[in-house]
Structure formats: C-alpha cells, structure tokens
Structure 1
Amino acid sequence: MTWHRRPLVGFDLETSGVDPETDRIVTAAVVRYGGGQPNQVCTWISDVDGVEIPAEATKIHGFTTEAARSAGRPAGAVVAEIVAALAELVDQGLPLVVMNAPFDLTLLEAEAERNGIGSLFARAMPRVLDPRVLDKHVDRYRSGSRRLEDLCRHYVVRLDGAHDCAVDAIAACGVVWKIANRHRWLTRVPLEELHERQAHWAVEQQEGLREHFATTPGKEHRALTVRSGWPLIPRMRPGVWPSE
C-alpha cells in the first residue's frame, strides 16, 4: 500500500507573530486524516506564556491576548501534549503534513526547548510532507501565490475558514493527497527518501527566491530575510532558544 492510501498526520499552528524563534503558540491542531476513517482532530489553546499578541496577529487568527489567557491552558502543558500527540502518530510510521514546515516545526522546537520539553525530533523521526515544497517542485513555473488558500483553490480542496488551525491542517492534508494522486510517481518514493528529496528541493526553492528578491528593484532588501533549511530553520545564533 502506498503512503497516500494510509492516514496522514496534519499539523498546524496559529501564533503570536512571524518569528519562529521568539513567538509563541496561540492555537494548535493535530489531525489524523484519511485512511478510510473519519478525521480525528485534537486542538489546543495556549495562554501564550505571558506574551502579548499583537493586533496584526489577532487580525489573522482572531485571538486577543485576553482571549488566549482566558481560554488557554499553560503553555508548557500545551506544548508537551502537542509533542506527545505528534510523536505517537509519527511512531506509527505515518507522514507528518505541515504547510510551510520550517515555520511551524521550528516554532514548536523553540517552544519545547523554552519549556524544558524534549524535542519532537529527538523522540521520533518525522517524515515530513510540505504541500508548498511539493507543489513548487511538480509545478514550478505556475504563476501566482502559493499560500494554502491558493493551493486549495488550485487542487480543488475544501477550505472553510482559513487560519483556523484544524481547518488548515485538514486542508493541507487534502492538498498533499491531491498532489500525490495527480503525480503518482511521488507515491512510489519511500517516505524517508521523499523527506530527503524535499530538503534539497526546499533549499533550491529558497535560493531561487533569494535571487529573485536580489535582482528585483525595490525588493533587494528582502533577499536578506530568506532563510534556508527544511524542515527546520537553522538557528541564527548558538545556544538556547531566546525566551523573549
């Protein structure tokens, strides 16, 4: 049985900002998707560990600082449960689907270290499938944005309420399944090898993006913001992840 006929594990975060090293989890979802069974969804709300949620982030996911602190549970407990849930499913040999994996997985690793929790990558060996990397590889010359909403539109995957982490996790799994079903050669690549191939494809894609910014008038400064690395972003500095 090929991997796309088995369940997929979807993972998505909504966060306090866009820096995976310093920002915090606000909401999270882990989904067991497909495999001939109804989807199983686990969700969490974190109290964001005393950090303020900027208005710009609230506009995206709807959570204010006050709402997160009121509805959320202690960040350390939430992170521990997320890591445990992912490790249990990954240990079953199921692939981990994460849209823009370097952001969500790097942020999760930073949160785990910040809270004294063992790394997911130390506890399990995730074989990650990133719909953005896969789509860019199989259809590299298609113009337009490749956000999750755009991929769902292109692959005809239902997306009811973007930036709800459970909705996004399910949609990302749907996109991966559609990509695999359309490009069947992907399903014949063992997961471990496909994971390694994506690491190379992602670096090539990031290098291409960096070159695009560097040679586009008015966007040259953005070349410096492109960070390579997949499925984790290398730390910008040694030592522990920053607490602030």
Structure 2
Amino acid sequence: MSWYLGRMAGFDLETTGIDVEADRIVTACVVQCGGRAPVQSATWLADPGVEIPEGAAAVHGITTEQARAEGRPAAEVVEQLVAALAETVLAGTPLVAMNAAFDLTILDREARRHGVQPLVDLVGTDLRVLDPKVLDKRVDQFRRGGRKLEDLCRTYKVRLDGAHSADADAIAACRVVWRIAQQRADIGGIGLDALHAAQVAWAREQAEGLADYFRRTPGKEHQAATVRVEWPLIPAQRDGDQA
C-alpha cells in the first residue's frame, strides 16, 4: 500500500517569532489523520515565559495576556509535545510539517531550554518527515507566486479553515502532502525511507539556490549567509562549537 493511503501526523507550531534559537512556542498541534480512521487532534497553549510581540500576536491571535492567563507552563507543554511526537514516530507514522526545519528546530531548542530530552535523541533514525514546502518546490520548481501554506492550499485545492491556528495548519499540510503524492508517482510511489532521504537532498539544493539568488540580487547579498541547508532539523550547537 502506498504510504499516503496510511496514517499521517500533522505537526504545527505558532510561536513568538521566527528566530529558531531564541523564540518560543505559543501553540502546538499534533493531528493524526488518514488511513480510513477518525481524525485525532491534540493541541496545547503555552505561557512562553516571555512577551509575545504584537506582530506575532497579529498572526496567530494569542496575546501575552491570554497566554499567561490560559496557557500551561512552557516546560510542561514542551515535555508533553515531545512525548506525543516520539510516540507517533516510534509507531512508524510520518510527521507532516510545513517548513519542517523551522518547527522541529524550535521544538528542539525549547526542549534543551527546559531540560527535556529532545525528540531527535528519543527517536534517532526512526524520524520520517514529509514537508509540503520541500515537496512542492521539487515537483513545481518554476511556478510563480508565493509558497506559503495558504498558497499551496490554493494550488492543490485544499480547504484551509482558520489559517495560522496550529490545528488548522497541521491538517491542511497533511492534505497538501496527500494531494501531491496522489498526483505524482515519483512522490507517492516510493517508500518513506527513500522519500525522507530524498527530501534531505532536495531541501539542501533548494536552500543553496536561495542563497545563490541572494548573492546575485543587489541589496540582498547579506541574506545569503543566513540561509541554512539542514533539513528536517538544524543541529544544536554543542559547547565549544564555533558560530
């Protein structure tokens, strides 16, 4: 049976910002779907322990005051989230995450910040990730227009209910991956192990292409140095590593 006919687990975070080393988790969702079984969704609201900038709150709708009043301690949320993902991965279910290197890296740094064993240490080489952003760029490299989740939903005719809420984004990402796999035998017709490994290479190629674009574009040259090629997780620096 093709992998896309089985169970997938959508994973999405809403955060205080876009710096994977410094920003914090505000909301999170893990949604199990597909495989002719009912959808199961788990969501978390965290008090990140820092102010939520107005710009971030405008995107996901969670203010500092709401997070403090209704959110659970960040360490508790991170521990439960890592445990839920580890259980999912070790059961053989692939994780679907839009721009996976962002969400998985944020989670990794939050785990280390709060003394929680990181997901990568718990699951090792069992981790299998499906990233609609990487897959879409691979199958339709030269399409004009945006590549955000809402753009992909329009392209692949996927319903997106409540963009920028973690649960809506997680299930929409799964639907996009399903559409791509259904339409493209070179994606849906290979095994998860091979597809995960292929995405590592594709993500690197895509990032290198972006960095090259920045280097060739007047006024954007400095952005080339900020592009990371690692996928699906940017490894944490160890003590003594050079920046």
- TM-score, structure 1 normalization: 0.94
Aligned partners of 1:94 and 1:3: how far apart in 2? 10
Aligned partners of 2:195 and 2:84: how far apart in 1? 23
Q: Map residues 30-179 of structure 1 onto 2, 5 A cutoff.
A: 30-48=30-48, 50-124=49-123, 125-179=126-180
Per-residue deviation, residues 157-200 of structure 1 (Å, max 9, x unmatched)? 00011100000000000000000000022223221121111011
Q: Map residues 205-216 of structure 1 onto 2, 5 A cutoff.
A: 205-216=206-217
Unaligned runs of 5+ in 1: none
Q: Report if aligned partners of 2:98, 2:149 keep a CA contact under 8 Å in 1.
A: yes
Tell me the equivalent position of 1:204. Answer: 205
Tell me the equivalent position of 1:22. Answer: 22
Structure 1 stretches of at least 4 aligned residues deviating more than 6 Å after TM superposition:
none
- Which region of structure 1 is more displaced relative to structure 2, 141-150 or 117-126? 117-126
Q: Report if aligned partners of 2:99, 2:132 keep a CA contact under 8 Å in 1.
A: yes
Tell me the equivalent position of 2:191. Answer: 190
Per-residue deviation, residues 7-56 of structure 1 (Å, max 9, x unmatched)? 100000000111111111000000001111221110000010x2111111
Q: Report if aligned partners of 2:11, 2:96 keep a CA contact under 8 Å in 1.
A: yes
User: CA shift at 1:224, angstroms?
Assistant: 2.2
Which AA in structure 2 matches 1:51? V
- Which region of structure 1 is more displaced relative to structure 2, 116-125 or 7-16? 116-125
Q: Tell me, what secondary structure is at the counterpart of 2:11?
A: strand
Which AA in structure 2 matches 1:231? P
Per-residue deviation, residues 111-147 of structure 1 (Å, max 9, x unmatched)? 1111111111111221000000001011111111100
Unaligned runs of 5+ in 2: none
The share of aligned pairs that are identical, in percent, is: 57
Q: Tell me, what secondary structure is at the counterpart of 1:46?
A: strand
Q: Report if aligned partners of 2:180, 2:188 keep a CA contact under 8 Å in 1.
A: no
User: CA shift at 1:238, angstroms?
Assistant: 3.3
Which AA in structure 2 matches 1:179? I
User: CA shift at 1:156, angstroms?
Assistant: 0.3
User: CA shift at 1:84, angstroms?
Assistant: 0.9
Let me know the Cα RMSD of the aligned residues.
Answer: 1.2
Aligned partners of 2:29 and 2:101: how far apart in 1? 16
Per-residue deviation, residues 66-109 of structure 1 (Å, max 9, x unmatched)? 11011100111101111111111111111110000010000000
Aligned partners of 2:221 and 2:120: how far apart in 1? 35
Aligned partners of 2:201 and 2:227: how far apart in 1? 16
Aligned partners of 1:222 and 1:143: how far apart in 2? 21
- TM-score, structure 2 normalization: 0.95
